[in-house]
Structure 1
Amino acid sequence: MSVSKQLIHLRNVKGISQEELASLMNVTRQAVSKWETDQALPDSEKIIRLSEIFGVTTDYLLKGKENDPIDIYSQHDSKAGTDMSAEVTEIIDNVHQMTTTKRCLIGIGIFIFVVIVIVGIIFIMKM
């Protein structure tokens, strides 16, 4: 599927107009229209922003995949009867927490190393 067809599909799934998308993208409605009619392609920054707005990867926008992430999300959500967004948020929070913990441990390690070096220098100077 081409970028233009992807944009039309994703915009319709999300239920927003060309004007609303243009406003979210800080472009004119005419720019969105040109993207959707293959008269122009969005630049790389716009592709990234579009992927954020629609919740898809840039690969999905540019290449298209057989599995539509929005459809997969909807199917999983309805089958499981759970709130996927809460699960995703929890996973992201856990990853962020692990990253913060790792940074703290690295900081403590560096601090201990510096203290040992300073104590060693002081010990050598007293000899």
Structure 2
Amino acid sequence: MPEPTEQQRARRRRTGGWMLAVGVVALFVSTFTVPEAIHDLARVSAGQETGLSTRGVVVTVVGAATLLGGGALAILGFNWRRSVGEGPHPEDLLLDEQFGDAPVRPYDPDELRRRPGRPDPEDGQRDDRS
């Protein structure tokens, strides 16, 4: 798969940003509509009313749509923006070309266990201060 150009990355970042913004606004709207929809549905199911009013139907549909759609858009927009990443910087490419991309010093996990002035526990020496 070819590496996307900087224009494609910027377009994808913008699209992901708009998706995330719309999703967050929809989730904010759902904080007002979902409780009212639950209240209307609870009154109907308790038998206090014979059916949902027009407002109850609208609030229930809008609440469900904003909660589910806003959550999906927010997740998709966030992941879309995050998956783009940054392209390799020209200076990094130049350094990789010059020095390679291997670490300068190999990682040694035992180095963290050693302390200055104390013998290595694996050398079999005893600490005389005990």
Q: Relative contact order, CA 8 A, sep 6+: which one is greater?
A: 2
Q: TM-score, normalised by structure 1?
A: 0.29
- Determine which structure has the larger helix proportion and give its number: 1
Q: TM-score, normalised by structure 2?
A: 0.29
